Amino acid sequence: MSSASYLQTCRACKHEFRAAARYLGKVVACPTCRQPVAINDEKPVADKLVGKAIGGCTLQRRLGAGALGVVYEAVHQDGRRVAVKLLSSEAAKLPDVVARFQREARLAMDINHPHVVAVYDCGHERGAHFLVMDFVDGATLAAMVEDQPLPWREAVEMVLPMAEALAAIHAQGVIHRDIKPANILVGPDGRPKLADLGLAKNLDEDGSGLTMQNVALGSPAYMPPEQIRDARSVGPSADLYALGATLYESLTGKLPFTGRTGPEVMTRVLKDPVPDPRALVPDLPAGVAALVMATLAKAPAGRPPSAEALAADLHAVLADPETPPPSLRAAAAAATPAAPTSTPVRRVPVWAWILVAAAVAGVAAAGLLLLP
């Protein structure tokens, strides 16, 4: 059984999550809405489903819950420890939600990657829709950075496998749309896995009927401007932005854009300039800072062109953290007119690449904000 933890409910968003025993008596940020939650040891109301069997699994412990479903630790009939996700009875009454839940299962079962939480089975049994998934006995990245940010190299090494996982997901024609530290599970071996395809979108689908009209789907602090405007029309670059926001938070311990409410956060994402992480971490290497700012560009054109390119950039800054990574150099070269042959070529100082990243993001933002 997992180490001691306490089931908590965020009063702001009603999300349930488990907090490690070391946080008892402390205040932590809700992994979903980032509002403060005081951790207590009050026992929740007994869950009548614990001990029951569904999908060949015996439910042992409630791990958490969101607006649409509940997740349990369980034991499969073959002896494996697994996680079982059940759609709530209220959500099961909504045809669109059931369709999204079933789609999550289909999409996840088609993805086979060591850094993506595997889905083994799905179905409908005893009146409940369920998924059977990997059980990761560890913490989320959100919990890991709750006390203090990670050293830059550790943060980059944590995010790099997520970029590789996104490359595999995007290769299947799928966009995750909810990348954030709370959806990155870190096992005892330190290996991260990307979870929760509940908001994923298939690029072959138009998304109609699977989203609530005029509601931005995702987590506001990690959503790029285009997802705030229309979650149904986003491309793979939206996931890169969210991973950039995750890297920013891992490095600094702060979100790039904050606010008292979701709409306030989204307004700042749309209008405020991209923050330089070195304002909070002055000794952050220049190449790492430039890459973070590039992934947070307001428009997709300002970000690395693909998850594969972002993974290559992360590899590059691990090897040479002071030098801007390949995609940033390529973008700068494409935006800079060729110098006359009579003009000697000068080496561009590293600090200038930070300005390039900021300028690209700013110009992209200006263009984006002119859209109707």
Q: In angstroms, rounded to a whole number, what is the distance separating the alpha carbons of residues 228 and 218?
A: 8
Picking from 327, 331, 325, 239, the residue whose alpha carbon sits closest to that of residue 288 is 325
Q: Which residues, other chains included, contact 147 with Cβ-Cβ below 8 Å and sequence gap of 6+?
A: none
- The secondary structure element, H or E, covering residue 245 is helix 237-252
Is residue 152 classed as helix, strand or coil in its secondary structure?
helix
Say which of 110, 137, 178, 230 is annotated catalytic: 178
**Is residue 125 a contact partner of residue 55, using CB atoms and an 8 Å limit?**
yes
Q: In angstroms, rounded to a whole number, what is the distance separating the alpha carbons of residues 256 and 250?
A: 11
Q: In angstroms, rounded to a whole number, what is the distance separating the alpha carbons of residues 281 and 152?
A: 9
CB burial readout 319-356, b (16+ within 10 A) else e: eebebbbebbbebbeeeeeeeeeeeeeeeeeeeebbeb
239 is catalytic: no
Q: What residues act catalytically?
A: 178
